Amino acid sequence: MSVDVSAESIAQARALLDEEGLDNVVFRQADIFDLPFEKESFDHVFVCFLLEHLADPPAALECLKEVLREGGSMTVIEGDHGSCFFHPDSEHARRAIKCLIYAQAEGGGDALIGRRLYPLLSEAGLVDVRVSPRMVYADSSRLDMVEGFTRNTFTAMVQGARERALALGLTTAEEFDMGIRDLYRTSEPDGTFCYTFFKATALKQASTRAGGRLQVE
C-alpha cells in the first residue's frame, strides 16, 4: 500500500511501476492527517521526504502510530539541507541554499528536519529509535551522481525556490543567480558535492498480531 496526497504523484509512481512490470503495489490518495485505514492495520510504516513539508510533524507521527500495530516498525527518511558541503566553496551558493531553507520555513516546513528525527520519534512515544546518516557524495568519477543528484536534484531544488525567495525579500535576483551558478560549478570535472540524508527506525510495542505494510511519501 502506497499513499500520497497528490494524484499527480500517484500517477507518476504508477507509470514508473508499469515500466518495470510491477503490479504488487496498491496506491491510495489520502491525507496523512486523515488516513482511510483502521487502527493498527499495518506491520510497517515507511515515510520518505514527507515530514519536512509539514507544519506539524509530531501530529503526523501520531496519525501514523494509530495505523501501526503494536510491535510494528516504522522507517523515516528525511534530508537536511544544512548538511551539504562542496568544492569549490562559495558564499553565494551557501546563501542560495539558506534562501531555500528560510523559504520552506516560511511555508511551515523544515528543510533541516533530518537532524531532528531522533527527538521527533522518541517524543512520539516510539521505542528503540535508531538514526543513521546516509551520505551522498558526487565527483567526476561518479558521473551518474553528478548528473542525477548534484545537478538535477539538489541544485534544481534550490533553483526552484528562486521566486519564493525573491518574494520574501531574502535575496536579490543577481545574488541568487550567482549562487545557482556556483552550485552548478561544483558539478564540473574538478568539483565535488556532498549531502547527508538521515534514516530513522523505531518500534511501537511488542505484539504477535499480524497486519500489512504502509508506505507514505
19-33, 42-56, 57-71, 201-215: the lowest-pLDDT one = 201-215
What average pLDDT does the structure give for the chain? 94
Q: Does the CA dihedral 145-151-152-156 come out positive or negative?
A: positive
Give the whole-angstrom CA distance, residue 71 versus residue 38. Answer: 16
- Structural domain spans, the chain: 31-216
* Residues in CB range of 64: below 8 A, 6 or more apart: 32, 35, 45, 47, 74, 214, 216
Which pLDDT value is given to residue 164? Answer: 97
* Residues in CB range of 150: below 8 A, 6 or more apart: 138, 183, 186, 187, 191, 193
| 173: confidence class by pLDDT, cuts 50, 70, 90 | very high
End-to-end Cα distance, the chain:
11
Mean pLDDT score, 166-184: 98
Structural fold of domain 31-216: Rossmann fold (3.40.50)
For helices 173-185 and 91-106, the axis angle rounded to 10 degrees is: 120
Which pLDDT value is given to residue 205? Answer: 78
Which pLDDT value is given to residue 217? Answer: 52
How many residues are listed for the chain in this entry?
A: 217
| 158: confidence class by pLDDT, cuts 50, 70, 90 | very high
Mean pLDDT score, 171-187: 98
Give the whole-angstrom CA distance, residue 84 versus residue 194. Answer: 5
Q: Write out pLDDT tens, residues 68-118.
A: 999 999 999 999 999 999 999 999 999 999 999 999 999 999 999 999 999
Look at residue 27 and give its three-state secondary structure: strand
Give the whole-angstrom CA distance, residue 46 versus residue 217. Answer: 8
Which of 213, 214, 216 has the alpha carbon at shortest distance from 9?
A: 216
Q: Write out pLDDT tens, residues 23-55.
A: 899 999 999 999 999 999 999 999 999 999 999
Given a cut of 70, is residue 62 above it in pLDDT?
Answer: yes
Count CB atoms within 10 A of the CB of residue 124: 19
Query: Which grid cell is 164?
Result: 519564493
Which pLDDT value is given to residue 1? Answer: 87
Which pLDDT value is given to residue 214? Answer: 65
